[in-house]
């Protein structure tokens, strides 16, 4: 797997970018030149919407805060929401798909109808309603994303479990007295885990994108700085028309983070499914 990732340009690009964001997030308190929430002044005047300069490399916001410091500290929200939501939604989707595919029949019908309902619920209106009830916070955003985005994972894992449960070694496990839980989680789960790991990578990208969308709409955690929240404040203050430096850095970081996660997911999909590899792809 490591050899494939090092020889695959797409995987290498995504891995380098994602590791860079992780390091920035870990070292954020030591990298920020100013307090991200500090109101800056120059000669007693508010440093409002100043363009990039030697003093403020990415300029300042409408409220006189350093853009670079906010971009750096916002990396943490992207990493927390992306990783935690991806793990939770993959965990939920994998278990629902595993149970539905293994038992089949009425249990399969009930779980798949619930999945169909989840597919029919538009995410943004659902998220706005749920966060309005629970309150805007990082934990509630993670819960909201995990509560709805497990549906695709469940469908894919179910289809794999339906195929695997018919194999001879599963029949042998039943004959030898293996219980349902043992067969599902000892004999079937290891065979669907590679696909689950794929949806963790894709879930990181989707969760980050949806968190930025919710923050841009004003439903982000007001106590934490995120890239989507930076775009929200730039929009409501009119800085999108007059101060491009308050928009491009967070927007570029969102795009780069999502592209990197999707690149890793696509490369990993080629690894677990050799038929997707292009001709001449080194391995």
From residue 149, alpha-carbon distances to 91, 93, 122, 128, 252 in Å are 11, 8, 11, 15, 24
* Predicted TM-score (pTM) of this structure: 0.85
Give residue 282's pLDDT: 41
Token pair, residue 52, equals 């990039």
Residue 3 domain flag: no
- Cα 53 to Cα 62: distance, rounded to the nearest angstrom: 16
Give residue 199's pLDDT: 86
- Could you tell me the residue range of the domain that residue 16 belongs to? 9-275
Residue 280 domain flag: no
From residue 118, alpha-carbon distances to 41, 89, 126, 212 in Å are 50, 13, 10, 21
CATH number at residue 258: 1.10.3720.10
Report the DSSP beta bridge partners of residue 46.
41
Q: How far apart are the first and last CA of the chain?
A: 9
From residue 243, alpha-carbon distances to 32, 35, 43, 52, 152 in Å are 21, 21, 21, 10, 39
CA atoms within 13 A on the CB side of 64: 10
Residue 133 domain flag: yes
Residue 2 domain flag: no
Residue 281 domain flag: no
- Cα 188 to Cα 142: distance, rounded to the nearest angstrom: 28
Give residue 73's pLDDT: 93
Residue 72 domain flag: yes
Tokens 């990415």 found at? 58
The contacts of residue 110 (CB under 8 Å, 6+ apart) are: none
Residue 258 domain flag: yes
Give residue 42's pLDDT: 86
10-residue mean pLDDT profile of the chain (283 residues): values are 71 88 92 90 86 90 92 92 91 92 89 91 88 87 89 90 87 83 88 85 89 89 89 89 90 93 81 58 41
Number of domains forming the structure of the chain: 1
Residue 34 domain flag: yes
Tokens 């038992």 found at? 103
Q: Angle between the 67-103 and 151-164 helix axes, to the nearest 10 degrees?
A: 40
* CA-closest candidate to residue 156, choices 104, 85, 100, 205: 100
Are 195 and 154 spatial neighbours (Cβ–Cβ below 8 Å)?
no
Give residue 68's pLDDT: 93
- Cα 72 to Cα 254: distance, rounded to the nearest angstrom: 12
């Amino acid at each position: 797997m490591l050899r494939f990732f090092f020889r695959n340009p797409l995987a290498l690009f995504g891995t380098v970018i994602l590791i860079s964001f992780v390091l920035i997030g870990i070292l954020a308190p030591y990298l920020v030149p100013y307090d991200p929430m500090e109101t800056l002044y120059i000669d007693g005047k508010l440093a409002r919407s100043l363009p990039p300069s030697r003093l403020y490399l990415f300029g300042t916001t409408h409220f006189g805060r350093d853009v670079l410091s906010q971009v750096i500290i916002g990396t943490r929200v992207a990493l927390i929401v992306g990783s935690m939501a991806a793990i939770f939604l993959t965990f939920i989707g994998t278990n629902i798909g595993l149970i539905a595919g293994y038992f089949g029949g009425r249990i399969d019908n009930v779980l798949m109808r619930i999945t169909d309902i989840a597919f029919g619920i538009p995410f943004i209106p659902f998220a706005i309603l749920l966060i309005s009830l629970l309150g805007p916070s990082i934990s509630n955003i993670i819960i909201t994303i995990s509560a709805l985005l497990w549906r695709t994972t469940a469908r894919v894992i179910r289809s794999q479990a339906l195929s695997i449960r018919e194999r001879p070694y599963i029949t042998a496990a039943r004959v030898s007295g293996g219980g349902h839980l043992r067969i599902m989680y000892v004999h079937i789960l290891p065979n669907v885990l590679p696909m689950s790991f794929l949806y963790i990578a894709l879930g990181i990208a989707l969760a980050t994108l949806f968190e930025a969308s919710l923050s841009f709409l004003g439903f982000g955690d007001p106590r934490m700085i995120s890239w989507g929240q930076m775009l929200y404040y730039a929009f409501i203050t009119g800085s999108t028309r007059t101060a491009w430096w308050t928009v491009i850095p967070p927007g570029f970081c969102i795009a780069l983070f999502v592209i990197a996660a999707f690149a890793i997911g696509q490369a990993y999909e080629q690894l677990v499914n050799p038929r997707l590899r292009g001709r001449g792809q080194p391995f």
